[in-house]
Each structure stands twice: as C-alpha cells, then as structure tokens.
Amino acid sequence: RKKMELLLLLVICQFTINSVKTHSVSKPNIILLMADDLGIGDLGCYGNRTLRTPNIDRLAEEGVTLTQHIAASPLCTPSRAAFLTGRYPIRSGMAAFSRVGVFLFSASSGGLPSEEITFSKLLKQKGYATALIGKWHLGMNCESSNDFCHHPHSHGFDYFYGLPVTNFRDCKPGQGSVFLKGAQKALVIPLQITGLALVSLAIVQYIGLLKVPFRALSYFLLIITISLLVLFFFFYHFRHLNCFLMRDHQIIQQPLSYENLTQRLTKEAMQFIGRNTDAPFLLVLSYLHVHTALYASENFKGKSKHGLYGDAVEEMDWSVGQVLDVLEKHNLGDKTLVYFTSDQGAHVEEISSAGEVHGGYNGIYKGGKSTNWEGGIRVPGLLRWPGVVQAGAYIDEPTSNMDLFPTVAKLADAQLPSDRIIDGHDLLPLLQGKVTQSKHEFLFHYCNAYLNAVRWHPRNSESVWKVVFFTPNFSPEDSNGCYDSHVCFCHGGFITRHDPPLLFDLSRDPEEKVPLTPETESLFYEILRVVHQAVDNHTRSLHAVPNQLSWDNLLWKPWLQLCCSSLFQSCYCDYESGGSSLEVHSG
C-alpha cells in the first residue's frame, strides 16, 4: 500500500511539474529591450573589455548569444517597422526611395500603416497586457492632430510612455543640429537663384526692356517672405515641436527634459511589470540610449572610460539590471522571455562639436549605421528564458530582428496571418538546440528601398556568402564612414555600383576585407546565379504599396502638430518635473 501511495505521489508531482512547464512555455511574459545605435562591440558579452555591462552580459550567461543577428535595415524607422511586423520594410511602404529614410518630424503624415499586423496586436488579442516605453519613431497622425492613426495604441499597445519621434541632437541645447548643415546646403542655391532673378528683374525694369507688373512682383516677394518665415519659425522652435514626451495620447513634457530620463523610463517599465504580475504581459522597452544627443544622469556622468557615450551605455546597462531585478522580486524570472538588441549598428560618424567621439564601436565589422556593411546591420541578439532556452550558448547562424514576430506569436498561441508574407522565422527551435541551422537560407539587405546585398547560407555548407550590388562612397575615401554627409546615402553619386557584384564569404572574412573573384573562388559564377534567382523570386513576392516615406509624407504639416499649449505659446508644458526617481548606483 505504501508503494502504491508513493507511486501515486510521484505521478502527481510529475503531472504538476509538467503542467507548470507547459503553462510557462505556452504563454510566458515577454520583455523586448531595444537600444538605439548601439554597436555590437560595445558590450562585454561581445568582446568589449573597457565598458562595464554586467547586466546585459548576464543575459548572455543565462541565455543564448546570437553572433550573426541581423537588423532588417541599417536605419531606425524601417528597422523598427520590420521588427514589429516580421516583414521587410519594403513590404509595408516603410522604405524610402528618396534620400531621407526616417521620419524627422512629429507632424509628418507617414507612419506604419494600420493594415500592418504587429506582434503587439496579436498578443493583445490573446489577452496580453501590452506596453511600449521609450522611442516609437513610426509616425503619429494622418489627417488631423488627434486622429493618432499611427500611434502605438493603433498598433496593439495598451500603454505608451515615450517619444513619438526620436532623440535628435537638436533636442538638447548645446549639442548642435542635425538639420542646420543640410538646410543651409539645400537653401543656398534656391536663395541665390531667387536673388539673381530679383536683381535681373530690377535691371530690365530700370532700362525699360520689360515692364513687370508691380502686383506680380509683390506676390512673388510675399511668397518668398512667408516661406522663409515659416522655415525660420520651424527650425527656431524645432525642439518644442518635435522633442516631447507622451503618456498614451497626452503630452506630459514639451520640450523633453533629459534630467533623470532613463530613470523615468525604467520606473515606468518596472511599474508596468508590477501591475501585471498575475497575467501575461508584453513589454517593449525602447531605449533612447545611445542615439545622439547623448546624455547620462549625474550618477553615471564621467564614470566610464569612454566619455559621455560610455556613460550612456553603462546607464542603459543599469536600467536592464533594474528590469531583471523586478522580475526576480515578483518570481517572474522563469516565466519571462527577455530579449536584448539594437535597431542597427553604431553611428560611427557621430563626432560632437567639441571633437569627442559620440558614436559606438562595431567591433571587427566594417561600416556602421546607414550602410549594409556588417557594422551597420550585425547587432546584439541576446535571449534569456531560464529552463527553456539554453544557458551560455552561442549560435552563429544568420538570424534577423524580424524573427521576433513569429517567435512571440507562437509563444502566445497566436495564429500567424495567412494573408501576407512573414519574412521572419520562429527562433525557439534554434534557441532550444532542437535544430542547428537557421531557416534563413537567404536574407535581403535593403538600403532604403534599394536592394543593396544578399546573404546566402547554403543548407549543405559552412559558408555564408554575401553578394553586394553597390557600396557607399566613404568620405574621406580612406575612412570607415561618410563623415562629410554625417550618414551614407543609397543612390546616385553617393554609391558605386559593382558589375559583377562584390562577393564575400563571411565565414572566412567577416570583416569584408577581400572580395572574392573567379580566380580565388571556383564557385563565383554559380553563387551569383543562385543569388540572382533568389532575388527574382523575392522581387516577384513584392506588391506595390503607398510609400510612407515619400516627400509628401515626410514634410512638416502644421495642422498635424501636437502641442500641449498653443503654437503661439511655444508648445510648452511640464507635468513630469518633481516626480520621484529611482535610487541609482553606478558602481
């Protein structure tokens, strides 16, 4: 009888263990942490020996490190669109045909289309509490200043606390301007032409060759004057109009204050977790670090070995530690998948007006943000889920930030949409060691809307081939970036096309130093043939969609401007100051 009781007890225990494990695997909490412009070489777990990132490194020790994790675009807006939808940004119209590949103003009409399905929409339908805290950068309004058609709420997030656009140099007084140099270049020729036209008209009028109606001349001068006044108003008030903090639909701080900003974002994240300990939740914590303008709170300023950039990295690491600690406090560690990444590689051209390096380190990889060299698209990829995901494992297979969409959808028992192509693949079999090869045989690397390169990992080979159709013209030529223009561009005189394309084997030459030739690689033409066939298949899968980054959708539209007071009061309010902050220890 005692044996029967013991056997029954063992069966009950096993059933309980299996039930707990099944419950945790089927609907875990999900925390997705995304840095901005962080270099893969900035973290200890990827080889950095001078910056202190113990909390991010802890994710690597207790989880999986992806060493060939690829951003779907080397720019913020399209990369984030791909991350949320699991689709190449060209499919959603979030890839530009013009020079500007990201949203620059809060009152632009472009944004992530409402027809797109985000993982937050899927998880919300499955009963998850959902929040986005930090940077959005995927649009706000369409036709009026309160339709919020592109707002996080319209894409499945119950709660939003953060910036609608991004963190610009122009947002922080004394940090210079992203736009001034470009605006000066763009305006010089039109102003010269206008001035020359006016002088010419005055001369021909004076000598009697042509009679110009006074009314026509007056209208012309009026239009020019109004245009210049609007431009002056916009750039003079840029910080108030574009750099502000929102909670849901309400502006709570305009312009944004950097004082204890990371602490405020972290506190919001911790409070969201605390409010949702008894039900599954999705938290996307999208850091402003380390996009310029750089900032750090007093507890971190001057503490790192890499100036203000290093201070910002170490403060972000502190924030990651706070999130992990609050999971432990509520006994949620084993029930939560935590992911850490960056939206693209480090912005190597970022140099402050004082000459200090304000861009990150991409390790051994070439180039950086805005390019499809490895330094622009190879990003950190860390996933921790104790008891489910391998601890301390390294995976060198090609993976993408688009893979998070199908991964979290499956974990939430959500059905993937069947009416569209999903380019990402479920990561869990790789993370659990059930398979050893990524499902990504091909990855397509876009520079804005232009196909720049293709990655091919044959099923029966260790090689990872990369075929590059064009490369950015670095300036100066012997540098590692486009320092003269601040970022690299994707077409015209800014690039060099290659025929035949450049070919690299990233398994042997991850630094992309020596292009292969028919003489050095016997399979050269066969590789190009296979890749061109893959490009043809991929291109046929694309359908025409409205361009969300057209000039019309990018331009500032005053009637879409969000303002917590009025334009004539410089859009000023502050409902944040005086709030409590977290206790911070930088050491």
Q: What pLDDT score was predicted for residue 578?
A: 58
Residue 452, helix vs strand vs coil: strand
Under DSSP, the state recorded for 158 is: S
CATH entry, 179-236, from 1.10.3470, 1.20.272, 1.10.287, 1.20.950: 1.10.287
Determine phi and psi for 492, rounding to 5 degrees.
65, -140
Domain 29-167+243-438+545-560 has CATH 3.40.720.10: yes
Tokens 């709570």: give the residue: 252
Same fold, 29-167+243-438+545-560 and 179-236: no
Q: Output the six-digit token pair for 60.
A: 């690597």
Q: What pLDDT score was predicted for residue 19?
A: 40
Q: Output the six-digit token pair for 184.
A: 């000066």
d(CA 72, CA 453): 12
Burial class (CB in 10 A: 0-12, 13-18, 19+), 486: middle
Q: What pLDDT score was predicted for residue 397?
A: 98
CB 400 within 8 A of CB 443: yes
Would you kindly state where each structural domain of the chain is located, as residue ranges?
Answer: 29-167+243-438+545-560, 179-236
pLDDT in tens, 296-331: 999 999 999 999 999 999 999 999 999 999 999 999
CB 338 within 8 A of CB 385: yes
Q: Output the six-digit token pair for 32.
A: 């997705």
Q: What pLDDT score was predicted for residue 237?
A: 81
Name the amino acid, one letter, at 175.
Answer: Q
d(CA 45, CA 40): 9
Residues for the chain: how many in total?
587
d(CA 70, CA 79): 10
- Residue 237 region, left (φ>0) first, then alpha (ψ -120 to 50), else beta? alpha
**Mind telling me the catalytic residues?**
76, 137
Q: Which residues of the chain have pLDDT under 50?
A: 11-13, 15-24, 579-580
